[in-house]
Amino acid sequence: MSATPFLVRKVAVLGAGVMGAQIAAHLVNANVEAILFELPAKEGDPNGNVLKAVDNLRKLEPSPLATAARAGLIRPANYDQHLGLLKECDVVIEAISERMDWKSDLYKKVAPHLGEHTIFASNTSGLSINQLASAFPAELRHRFCGVHFFNPPRYMHLVELIACKETEAGILDSLEKFLVTNLGKGVIRAKDTPNFIANRVGVFSMLATIHHAERLGIGFDTVDALTGSLIGRPKSATFRTADVVGLDTFAHVVNTMKDTLPNDPWHKYYAVPAWLKGLIDQGALGQKTKRGVYQKVGRDIQVLDLKEQKYRVSDGKADEGVEEILKNKNVSERFAQLHASNHPQAQFLWAVYRDAFHYCAAHLADIANNARDLDFAIRWGFGWETGPFEIWQSAGWQQVAKWIAEDIAAGKAMTTTPLPAWAADAARVGVHTPQGSFAPTATSYQPRSALPVYRRQPFSDKLLGEERQYGTTIFETDGVRCWHTGDDIAIVSFKSRMHAIGDDVLDGVQQAIEVAEKDYAGLVIWQTEPPFSVGANLKKTPAGGARPASKPSGFGKLLRSFKKEAESLALKAARQIGVADQLMAGKLAEVEHLVEQFQITTQALKYSMIPTVAAVDGLALGGGCEFVMHCDRAVATHESYLGLVEVGVGLLPAGGGCKEFAMRAVADGKGGATSFFIQRYFKAVATPEVSRSAEHARDIGYLRATDKVVMNRFELLEIAKAEVRALAAGGYRPPLRQTAIPAAGRSEIATIRTVLENMLAGGHISEHDHLIGCKVATVMCGGDVEAGSLVDEQWFLDLERQHFMELLATEKTQARIEHMLKTGRPLRN
């Protein structure tokens, strides 16, 4: 550790292109002062170019900004007027076009203006860091390095950190700490080899996919059906990803490999296929030009058909038999079946895996420090659920290595280069072990980084082969596990699928509160992986217990437009509110009992004698959102998507969500503008609004001013515990129960109803939407009482329950729920 602490007060980003502007956006998301530089505009405001780039950030989807207003916090600058500002910047990130001559010129221009301790990092994806360093003044090179963000930088976890020969070790450690804690990124130390780790392997995998698809005559749409979520990769799979990244960008990376890796055994495959070059020449660059491998015509998605040389409707599907193989949970069986199958799709997948494994094994020593770094680079940079070595290891290292060797010998593999000795070693069972991951140059197993920043991550991203024990169990039920990490803070984690809240979870949380009140300083609700919770599950847990929650694919999430995303989130949540069983049995009373239990639990979170903290990551919908709203404090990762989405299935929030909003409106109005806030919160519930970030959730009102936003989700638990500890240390007392809350009352209900009336008359909502809206308004305004009537919390809770039950009893709500359960889509009736 260096003697003087490294403080990042300000960061300059040079270059307001797609990456530069988005990096600046993420800096301000993380409350880091960011100055964004670009060439001065030829006419008008000299900052015109930057301002245009900043304005464009507001339009990008998925949004690079936590909230649209954040864009205004990026400070615009140009190289003519503002180089003096660089002196105050602790870090400067260069993100201009990948041209050695341009970068070199820029370095000459800015170097004299850098501060005494400024770290200068290039966000190059292709150029050699040492070559770039040579363009940098020799006396400053110890503060020069590469910092490679992935697009879109807000969402992609990976940042590759690359030293040049002269980079001082302490500089990299400082930068890593900043990237991990302040920007929330996953840092991999990469070597200065072409395209570093993730792009090198990821792009090769795409080239291998293209090669085998052409060889076996499999259409692009079918390839995407096979190489997406079916095999634990982003939904955008191969070609849709290429369209999103940009076909020209993809070609550029391929050409870099072609030019810089002449001796690579796979060199002949580092070529842009003729059809791809053709598309680029036509200006069909993918999403940004609205045409690439795919194009959208009206409502149809069309795909380029190489045989026909034209676009056709995209309808490629995985063969049922192959799909069956891919669904096999047993990885070694799955690979054995793929390997043995004669189906071209199975052969295709085996070939793609084989060549990727072969490539990774052959290049591991050159490009990465150990196998873990390669796997994480691919997971964090390309959105694979498991890295190539993890897959190989879980499929049975020896068996797969034998098949690869056979295929190499038979000339089926893409090259004849043998597997490296370490991979072919007959004693090998894998590369990841509890002691560490295999490092071929040292032929040893390297443990995880010992940097102090990682002490904040007691449960960092899981890796196959490592042991993972979540503390010591305090008690465990069907619904929850309550545990501790050896200190005085109790943690409760849900065991249900997508962490839905059923009666077993409700019981478990109530029990956790009781236990914590007796023996612990406080309680944290934290899940071992996202989501926080998709909401209430009124359905009984199926026999055999809950299935483990599947991890949603991060990358797929990004590539869909957020609007669709929010919609599908609402769906997922709604699907959990499966009351169909009880309905059919006519057990409405049972449902009402569950709603009551829900309210008792959320009230307990609020009024228990110990501080409660919700540690939120990912979705917190419906009942999950209500849990968050009732804890004394929420600590939420930047990527937290909260929403009270019950109206989507014809219901309303009845776990205290409407009640909290009613009380918050009174508090926000400070005796004055209650009506304004009631209408705002009504809109959040009635629309319903799902936040696009934690900060956005605060804007909507799901999170409070006192709630905390955390950038790195692996630090979430530590920070949540620190928060609960601080609350306890402050002599925690629960809030006093309010017995005189002024209700907005009957005129406010009528006022909100006028809005609904206009929407109904204009055909924007259905009669049933109108009914639901009126009921939400009724609950939030405290019912048919005079404005300012004083009521207590139970008054609102009773209204929530009453109107929830009334909606549930309507045919249209029942139809909505059934439709959602059957089809997963909302019904508009």
Partner 1 sequence: MSKQVQDAYIVSATRSPVGKAPRGMLKNVRPDDLLAHVLKAAVAQCSGMDLKAIDDVIVGCAMPEAEQGMNVARIGLLLAGFPDTVSGLTINRFCSSGVQAVAMAADRIRLGEADVMIAAGTESMSMVPMGGNKPSFSPAIFEKDENVGIAYGMGITAERVAEKWKVTREEQDMFAAESHRRALRAIESGEFKDEIAPYTVNEKTPDLVSREVKVKSRVASHDEGPRKETSPEGLARLRPAFSVKGSVTAGNSSQMSDGAGAVVLMSEAAMKRFNATPMGRFLGYAVAGVPPDVMGIGPVKAIPKVLQQTGLKQDALDWIELNEAFAAQSLAVIKELGLDTSKINPLGGAIALGHPLGATGAIRVATLMHGLKRTKKKYGMVTMCIGTGMGAAGVFESL
Site map 730..759 versus partner 1, x via CB under 8 A: ----------------xxxxxx-xx--xx-
Shortest approach of partner 1 to residue 51 CB, angstroms? 16
Q: Candidates 310-318, 343-351, 733-741, 760-768: pick the segment binding partner 1 (CB under 8 A).
A: 760-768
What's the min distance (Å) between Cβ of 787 and partner 1? 9
d(CA 660, CA 96): 48
Which is nearest to 712 in space by CA: 65, 234, 158? 158
**Helix 344-367, helix 198-216: angle, nearest 10:** 150
DSSP percent split of the chain into helix, strand, coil, nearest 5: 50, 15, 35
User: According to the binding rule CB under 8 A, does residue 762 interact with partner 1?
Assistant: yes
Q: Which residue's CB is nearer to partner 1, number 758 or number 794? A: 758
Compare residues 198 and 772 and give the one whose CB is closer to partner 1.
772
Which of 61, 62, 51, 54 has the alpha carbon at shortest distance from 25? Answer: 54
The nearer residue to partner 1, 225 or 678, going by C-beta atoms, is 678
How far is residue 650's CA from residue 813's CA, in Å, rounded to a whole number? 5
Residue with Cβ nearer partner 1 (722 or 785): 785
Taking the least distance from each CB to partner 1, the nearer of 340 and 750 is: 750
Q: Determine contact, residues 534/642, Cβ cutoff 8 Å.
A: no
CB of 731 to partner 1, least distance (A): 41
Nearer to partner 1, 429 or 673 (CB): 673
**30-35, Cβ contacts within 8 angstroms, sequence gap of 24 or more:** 30/182, 30/183, 30/184, 30/638, 30/711, 32/8, 32/182, 32/183, 33/9, 33/75, 34/10, 34/73, 34/74, 34/75, 35/10, 35/11, 35/74, 35/75, 35/76, 35/77, 35/82, 35/85, 35/89
**Site residue total, partner 1 (CB under 8 A):** 17
Any contact of residue 764 with partner 1 (CB under 8 A)?
yes
Q: What residues contact 730, with CB distance under 8 A and at least 6 apart?
A: none
CB nearer to partner 1: give 48 or 344.
48
- The 531-570 site mask, x for binding partner 1 (CB under 8 A), equals ----------------------------------------
Minimum distance of partner 1 from residue 561's CB (angstroms): 20
Among 761, 767, 794, 822, which residue sits at the site for partner 1 (rule: CB under 8 A)?
A: 761
Please identify, using beta-carbon distances, which residue of 614 and 756 lies nearer to partner 1.
756
Please identify, using beta-carbon distances, which residue of 83 and 760 lies nearer to partner 1: 760
Distances in Å between the Cα of 685 and the Cα atoms of 209, 227, 357, 688, 809 are 45, 38, 49, 5, 20
Of 58-66, 139-147, 540-548, 762-770: span binding partner 1 (CB under 8 A): 762-770
Residue 675 touches partner 1, criterion: CB under 8 A: yes
Smallest gap from Cβ 634 to partner 1, in A, equals 31
Concatenated DSSP letters of 490-507? EEEEE-SGGG-B-HHHHH
Looking at the Cβ atoms of 563 and 764, the one nearer to partner 1 is 764
Considering the complex, what minimum distance in angstroms separates the CB of residue 328 from partner 1?
A: 48
DSSP for 291-351, written as a single string = BSSEEEETTEEEEEETTTTEEEE------HHHHHHHT-S-HHHHHHHHHH---HHHHHHHH
Binding of residue 81 to partner 1 (CB under 8 A): no
Decide if 362 contacts 371 (C-beta within 8 A).
Answer: no
Contacts with partner 1, 770-789, as mask; x by CB under 8 A: --------------x-----
Q: Does 668 bind partner 1 (CB under 8 A)?
A: no
* Rounded CA separation 802/239 (Å): 51
Residues in contact with partner 1 by the rule CB under 8 A? 675-676, 746-751, 753-754, 757-758, 761-764, 784
